[in-house]
Amino acid sequence: MARVSQEHLDARRRQILDGAARCFARDGFHGTSMQDVLKEVGLSAGAVYRYFSGKDDLIAAIAGEAVAGVRQAFERASRVDPPPTPDVLIGRVVRTLFAEGVDGGRGLDRRAYAGLIVQVWSEALRSDRLAATLIEAYGGLRTSWSELVGVYRERGVLTADVPDERVARMLIAAAQGFIVQMAMFGDPGPETMEDGLRGLMSMDVQKIS
């Protein structure tokens, strides 16, 4: 029997994951059956179960990729010297994340991919396995972005007496909120968030107080 190459195995696994992602984006995790996935990818049950034990295994794999995508987008956007301002930084995160989501071959548009990410977050409320993955990823993001905020402070860009970790949480929340809005209300484009953050950053708070 001819030996199957690792490249072929990886391509088949990718085919299954991409097909499952399309099903989940279209019908939700709980509205999708394994039969739906088999039909989407055009493979036999045996071929799919060779790679994944069932729907929960598929969800976990897709969630892991989504989490990794978010984290990599954050880390890539922050590896610039000097660091960009928060509005530019968050805009780069969103552009990087959704460029990868669209170009990954899943056949999802930006809004559908955002919806898939939101489903992952929601599923973590009932799955200890997914919750552990997200908690670990979020901890890594907070650490990385707290270090970045520390750089802002060292360079005199950030003058408020607020702990770095709290500022980092707010930066992460801005990107997460934008993803939720995109999933629920459509894709306004990353420039919308960039402009909004830039507007907030321009406020003269002394005039308010």
CA distance 181 to 17: 25
What are the pLDDT digits (tens) for 157-187? Answer: 888 889 999 999 998 899 899 999 999 999 8
Please report the pLDDT score of residue 93 as a whole number.
84
DSSP 22-64: HHHHHH-STT--HHHHHHHHT--HHHHHTT-SSHHHHHHHHHH
Task: Output the tens digit of pLDDT for each of the chain's 209 residues.
Answer: 446 688 878 889 999 999 999 999 999 999 999 999 999 999 999 999 999 999 989 988 888 887 787 777 777 777 777 888 888 888 888 888 887 545 444 678 889 989 999 998 998 998 898 899 889 888 888 888 898 899 888 888 888 889 999 999 998 899 899 999 999 999 898 899 999 999 988 887 777 76
Please give the pLDDT value at position 40.
94
Predicted confidence at residue 104, as pLDDT, reads 47
Contact between residue 113 and residue 25 where contact means Cβ atoms under 8 Å apart: yes
Cα–chain center distance at 98: 8
Q: Which two tokens stand for residue 38?
A: 């088999």
Closest Cα partner for 111 from 37, 40, 189, 59?
189
How much of the chain, in percent, has pLDDT values that exceed 70? 94
